[in-house]
Structure 1
Amino acid sequence: MKKILIVEDVAFNMDLLVQLLEDEYELVTAVDGAQGVQMAQQEKPDLILMDISLPMMDGYEATRRIKSSDDLRHIPIVALTAHAMSGDMEKTLEAGCDRYLSKPLDEDLLFALLAELL
C-alpha cells in the first residue's frame, strides 16, 4: 500500500482527506510545516499532500526543505491551497511542488492526480 503524508492544520480538512484516502492508502499526518518536514524524513512517504497556509512554517518553506534533501527530493508534493489567485500556481511550483490543487478539493481530480503520481 502506498504511503501518503498529509500536512494540513485545519481539522475539518484533515478529516475529509483521511476519510477520502484511508481505504486506498497508508496515511501519516502532520499539522504544521515543521512537523511535515520531520514526518517526511521519518516516514519516507510515496507522496505528500501539502497545505500551503500552515502555522510555524508555511507549505512553501516546508516544500523547499523537503526538496533540498537528497533522500526526499524524489517524493512528489501536491500543494493544497484555498488561495487560488493569479500567481499562486507559479509560486507553489517555484517552491518545488510538483502539482497544485485548489480548495475545496475536487475528489475526481484528486484521485486522478494520485493515480498519475503514484
Structure 2
Amino acid sequence: MGNVFDYIFITTLYSMFVLIWLVILGIGKFAPQYLGPVQTFLKLYIGGLLFVRYNPATYKDRTFREFDRKIVFTCSIFLLLSTALIGGIKNRIVKEAAPHVNKTVDTVKDKIGLES
C-alpha cells in the first residue's frame, strides 16, 4: 500500500465487514447503530476515490497497479452486497421485530391507561 488513501480505504472496509458480521451474528449491541454511518462513509469514500483516481482527465498518465485492481473489485462487491444484502437484512429485522415492538407498546399503553 502506497499512500494514506489506500490505508483509509482498507481500514474502513475491514471495519465495515467486522460490523456487518457482528450484526449478522447478533454479537454486540453497538454494531447496528454504527453500521449505517460507516456504510454511508464508505460509499461516499468509494465514490470519491473512484472518481478521483479513474476519471478520464487524470487517468491517462497513471499505471494500473495491483492495488487498483483490488479497489475496483472490492468496491464492486461492497456496493452490490451493501445494497442487496444489508437492505435485505434490515428489512428482515424490521419485519420480525415489528410484532414484538407493537406488543410491547400495547402492553405499556395498557399499563399507563392509554387507548391502543
Query: When the two structures are superposed, what TM-score results if normalisation uses the length of structure 2?
Result: 0.23
Q: Which has the larger radius of gyration?
A: 2
Greater RCO (CA < 8 Å, at least 6 residues apart): 1
Query: When the two structures are superposed, what TM-score results if normalisation uses the length of structure 1?
Result: 0.23
Q: Hey, which of these two has a bigger chunk of helix by percent? A: 2
